[in-house]
Amino acid sequence: MAGVIVDVISIVDIVFREICELSEKAGHNKKVCRRLTERIRVATKNLRNIRIEENDTALKNYIKALEDAKDFIKDISEASTLMRLIKARKIETDYKDVTEELDNAIAQLGLNQCTRTQQNIEEDLKLFHSEIKTSLSVIEEVNKHVWEKGMNIEEKVDRIEKKLDCINQANNSVYKEGEMSSNLENSKIPDSRISHCEESDEEITRGGGQIVKKTLCGVYTVAQKEIGHIGSLPRPSNVIEKQVAILTELKSCENIITFYGTVQRSGKLYIISEWAEEGDLCQYLKRNKNLDWNFKYRIASEIASGLAFCHFYNILHHDIRSHNILLTARKTAKLSNFNSARKETDESTQVKDITHRYRWLAPEKLSDHNSEYTKQCDIYSFGIVLWELASQQEPFADVTVAKELIEKVSVNKERPPNVPDTNPTYQKMMNDAWHPKALKRPTADNIFKELNKLANNRPFES
């Protein structure tokens, strides 16, 4: 009998660890996920204090409640399943079913100290409503250019599922040598449509000449970025396909640089995207000292919008820093450089070019480059960008090698210093985003909600 009990307790521990992992990675409704996880943590801890052998049926019911809670956390924390629950109009019903089942299982085990009071139940429901409201409002805002006016909820969900399917298909496909994928084939722009930008006799370039200013169809000013010689790319369709698929699906967000397509010329492959006249945010902050806080709030909100859009479609950027945020002629902020971006479900790879990235890397990734990259890593990096905006300085400027930063950030948990006159809400967003524990970092939804309120309360004046 003892062996059976030990096995059942082991199952409880395994399911609880899975719940913790889902809560840590939650892209939506994280506060609800954390509240459920904390309840389960306390109840599971107290299991050691009761006579398990007399409660084997109750224990099995508890495991069933944990499994259902795990499924619910997974459903409300991922975009596709969350939208299906919303489409079915059953999200609140499922929440009540899961929490009541957990309440009953805890009561059957006699864990009276873990029983929720009526006040607890009301507070939990209030938090649930608040989180769902935030998720829905952010989803509506960041997808406003994806949906068409007059679409009902079913049509909106169908549109999102189609976009997710396109990205998944590209990520899961493998192409033979010389075979062209449909996404890559459809992205091709005839070379004749790309012409020299006539505003200057000489080519206008950036990135050491890798990016050239051009004109598309004689109308649009675009950036032509060289990817490389087609013959030198290992299985070019596999290498470029994922990036093209991601860029194609993300271009409907106004805070992500617009992707127009690809061009093949003289054996080389180029990506054609929107030209950002003001260049990257890093250089802009250096050129323009003492920027107004109104401007900073707006830029921060626009970056958060782009990041929330990426995370909604389960895309991890992998390289959030001021160098990869571009400003248009109208000074609209746009996420760019999706060379390292991938689906959240893709296998993590070792960070490349750490020399350029380490100041923005999350502590868990900084100390172990082979560790899993999650949405929370993107959130940490964004927290550092918020500080760059506030201070207009390079983060950890006194650090010259990554090893020193590991000691500061990962071991000593140091963060950039406070910036005078920073709004308390803005400061809290930074502090929460770069929290040492990934579980406690907010979602892109919550960050965008708070920054958008700041930006709207203090409208930008051009």
The Cα 165–Cα 336 span in angstroms is 23
Q: Dig out the tokens for 121 from the structure.
A: 């139940």
Q: Are residues 95 and 8 in the same domain?
A: yes
Q: What is the pLDDT of residues 135-146, one digit of tens each?
A: 999 998 988 888
The answer on 445 and 308 residing in a single domain is yes
% of the chain at pLDDT higher than 90: 54
Domain contains 151: no
What's the domain count of the chain?
3
Question: Which distant-in-sequence residues (6+ apart) come within 8 Å of 429 by Cβ?
Answer: 383, 386, 442, 447, 450, 451
pLDDT value, residue 306: 96
- CATH code at position 241: 3.30.200.20
Domain span at 178: 157-274
User: pLDDT digit string (tens) for 271-330?
Assistant: 999 999 999 999 999 999 999 999 999 999 999 999 999 999 889 999 999 999 999 999
- The three-state secondary structure class of 227 is strand
Question: Is the residue at 287 inside a domain?
Answer: yes
Closest among 34, 49, 50, 43 to 13, alpha carbons compared: 43
The residue ranking higher by pLDDT, 160 or 383, is 383
- pLDDT for residue 459: 43
At position 379, the amino acid (one-letter code) is I
Neighbours of 417 (CB within 10 A): 9
Q: How far apart are CA 441 and CA 27, in angstroms?
A: 11
**Residue 226 and residue 170 share a domain:** yes
Within a domain: 147: no
Q: What are the tens digits of pLDDT across the range 186-242?
A: 888 988 888 877 665 567 777 666 788 888 877 888 999 888 776 665 554 565 777
Q: pLDDT band for 1, please (50, 70, 90 cuts).
A: very low
Please identify, among 74, 107, 142, the residue that sits at the C-terminal boundary of a domain: 142
Domain shared by 250 and 222, yes or no: yes
113 and 87 in a common domain: yes
8 A C-beta contact, residue 83 and residue 157? yes
Residues 244 and 259 in one domain: yes
Q: How far is CA 106 from CA 41, 64, 84, 94, 230, in A?
A: 12, 12, 29, 18, 61
Between 444-457 and 293-312, two packed helices, what is the crossing angle to 10 degrees? 150
List pLDDT tens digits, range 167-185: 777 666 554 444 456 777 7
User: How far apart (Å, rounded) are the C-alpha atoms in residues 300 and 303?
Assistant: 5
**What is the spatial distance between Cα 388 and Cα 379, in angstroms, rounded to a whole number?**
14
Percentage of the chain modeled with pLDDT above 70:
87
- Three-state DSSP state, 70: helix
The residue that leads in pLDDT, 217 or 107, is: 107
pLDDT confidence band for 5 (50 / 70 / 90): low
Question: Structure pTM?
Answer: 0.87
Tell me the CA distances in angstroms from 426 to 385, 387, 418, 460, one per residue in order.
Answer: 12, 9, 11, 16
pLDDT at 375: 95
Residue range 347-363, pLDDT digits in tens? 555 555 566 788 999 99
In this structure, the answer to whether residues 269 and 289 fall within a common structural domain is: no
Q: According to the 3-state scheme, what is the secondary structure of 115-145?
A: CCCHHHHHHHHHHHHHHHHHHHHHHHHHCCC
Q: Report the C-alpha gap between 109 and 124 in whole angstroms.
A: 22
Instruction: Report pLDDT digits (tens) over 147-167.
Output: 888 898 889 888 888 888 877
Pair (307, 438) in one structural domain:
yes
pLDDT at 379 (0 to 100): 98
37 within a domain of the structure (yes/no): yes
* Residue range 15-40: mean pLDDT, rounded: 95
